[in-house]
Amino acid sequence: MVKRVTKKTVTETIADDGSKKTVVKEHPEKIVEKKKATSRPKKMTAREREELLIENFVGLQHAMTNMSIKFGSLSDNISKLLQVFEESAKSFAAGGGGSEDKDMLKKIDTILTQNKTIAQGLVLMEGKLRRRAEEPSVAQPGAPTSPNRPRQLPRI
Per-residue pLDDT at 103: 85
Q: What is the pTM of this model?
A: 0.34
Per-residue pLDDT at 31: 58
Q: Tens digits of per-residue pLDDT, 52-99? A: 999 999 999 999 999 999 999 999 999 999 999 999 888 877 776 567
Which is nearest to 55 in space by CA: 15, 7, 19?
7
The CA distance from 50 to 40, in Å, is: 22
